[in-house]
Structure 1
Amino acid sequence: MARTSRTTARTTARTARTRALALAGAAVVLLAGLSACGSSATEDDEPDRRSFALPGSTLTIDSDDSDLEIVAVDDRPSDRIEVTRWFRGRVVMGSDAEITWSMDGDRLVLRQKCSGLIVDCDARHRVEVPRGVAVEVREKDGTVRATGFRDALRIRTTDGSVHVTDSTGPLELRTGDGSVHAEVSSRTVRAHSGDGSVHLELGVVPDLVESRSGDGSLTIELPRATYRVDTETGDGGEDVSVPRDDSSTHEVTARTGDGNLTVRTAN
């Protein structure tokens, strides 16, 4: 009887191991398939669109995992924003992929739920904002692109690049891991990257530029004028070719921890 019990136990154990190996093999095959043809939000040919009421002249966009495009427009009511979203998601051995959007006062909340043993999700949002609205963006994981702002714009990302164009309002751009690129005519620009390059192209003589890169190159291109320039590099070359005057009211501060630093006159 004892021998029969031991035999049954060994058989059960072998069966369990066989099933585990089979499941692991299936997971590897599925993962390889997903990797070969990953989901992309650009494949969504029928994006969702929704209009949200905006109670005031400020907007905060709170996103956890989505690429964002923020556009200031003239042809929109001053008390509403328009949001378009693209989404593709596949989950194996987990709950269904889900994406949500909601408005809480002046705060637009964008969330993505994509959890399981094997997941493949991608989201993108375009937010159209009426002129005259100051915008703050808080993005955890995703790139942010913004254009057309005359009012204050603040963008912070944990992991993702930032690119701003055609804007004249005050800018504050920060990313923990990603590049920062701005082609603007703003008179006040603050740009910081923990791990990534910073490239600023100014179309007007600024009053203040503050820029920092922890690990990456830093380039500032300025209109022809005289500037009060303060620079520091930890490990990298430094090239400052703009005219300098410590009494100038146009202040430029640039810091790099590990990367080349360039401050030059724009062509």
Structure 2
Amino acid sequence: MSAEGTGGNADTNGRIRTDVAHNARVWNYWLGGKDNYPVDRVVGEQVVEMFPGIGEVARADRAFLGRAVAHLVEDADIRQLLDIGTGLPTGDNTHEVAQRLAPEARVVYVDNDPIVLTHAHALLTSSPEGSTAYIDADARDPRRILRAAADTLDFERPVAVMLLGILNFVPDTGEARSIVRTLMDAVPSGSYLVLTHPTLDADVGGAGNQPAMDFWNANATPPITGRTRAEFLSFMEGLELLEPGIESCARWRYPEAAPVPQFGAVARKP
């Protein structure tokens, strides 16, 4: 499973619901955070009982983010990052990693969860040389995201588009591919796509994921979908995969790590 990302969790009056577990808050709980409610902890613990490795998945996904951002900033000279499906702030957020290495880096975060919005101030700190912005938008509306991000990012220059643990909340694979295509069509050659996604593939330990996903879909929001290696690869059609290609996110450029059932990859737009 993966549960960082997006998906609103408010009633019709815009109030945050505390009676239904929500992905950003449960993910925060698995990462050891405190921005969660009792219902999130109950569902989170039940998932842990069914799939004990979920905490490792959460930590591996977060560590992957740090390695991927560091590589793109240090080795690929990327100075602009669009992080869609931000989730709740934790340690070493995207702008912190990027601006530690390149203070002039510009980062735009995107999420549409009201509880993430309440914590957005933690994401809006920036080095004096750089810039950090937050957009309240749904990942399924990439054109709106691009219009708003253009206030901070220069789409004539390369951008790293980050979709970590977010496409799994778009159940239709065709729609998920369309989101990626729209985003990558808008950025120039030399831009990058950074992805993680949960899988049921047994070679990375995903065989035990399905019961936990079924429980999640019956008890929390938004519903989650696992995908195969081939489906994950299809999101990067037309792009150049960086070494080591598609790997468990725990092992991407860290081969000594134990695999978790969450694919990770970084690809370059030629």
Q: TM-score range by the shorter chain?
A: under 0.3
The higher radius of gyration belongs to 1
When normalised by structure 1's length, the TM-score is 0.25
Greater fraction of residues in strand: 1
Greater fraction of residues in helix: 2
When normalised by structure 2's length, the TM-score is 0.25
Higher RCO structure, 1 or 2 (CA under 8 Å, sep 6+):
2
